[in-house]
Structure 1
Amino acid sequence: MSTGITDIKAIEEVVATVERTQRAKDAEGFLSLFHPDALWTTGHGKVLIGFDAIAEFTRAVLPDAEWDGEVTYEVVHVQFLRPDVAAVKVRQVYHSAKSGSQGAPLYVMTKQEDGRWLLHACQNTEVLAG
């Protein structure tokens, strides 16, 4: 397996899809990015183990989520742990009239046999001012 530009572009596309599905409040599109054995920790520390727990939470929360402005996601670093495993540092910025809060998610992604990259173990961390 190679870990070149093609893999980085595919990883960046997953992060772009996270952004698009969050903005659109598209729970099913967001959930399509997860490995069946995924682990997700929300920005407020809620631990969700397995796809079913992530899906239940996402379907309950995302469609009714409200925020002022929009959010952007940017890949700031990709570290290949193995050719089929990458640690991906993301900058998450909420653009609003009230604040410019940020998140610093870490996504551990795995490459599937079909070449797709999926979210496997993720921690969404709020960046506190100061």
Structure 2
Amino acid sequence: MHHLELYVSDLEASAGFWGWLLGELGYEPYQRWKQGRSWKKDRFYLVLVQVEEKHRDPAYHRRKVGINHVAFHASSREQVDRLAAELASRGTVMLYSDRYPYGGGEGHYALFCEDPDRIKVEVVAPD
């Protein structure tokens, strides 16, 4: 993948969530402008853009047509555990907590959460 661009309802809230998480995963701040931010790792970058007010409705939901979730590699199971604990302490909505760390199925060690716009985010430990 070259890049992924997400339109967000509140750029500052989303930049706080994504900036922290991506930094923990080894991404560096890449671009910054009034209506957007991006972070880059290797040759891939993720972009956030503030959606225009007139395009806010209908709101995003992962179970509607469109992207379901975004998944990232973690360096280890320990990193997944550390990120899960930190995200929860930050008030992030954690998904499948009753099945953590196997919410994605047996043998699939990962955390699942929602960003400020309810986009599902997954961080997966190596096999």
TM-score by length of 2: 0.28
Q: TM-score, normalised by structure 1?
A: 0.28
Q: Which has the higher helix share?
A: 1
- Give the strand-richer structure, 1 or 2: 1
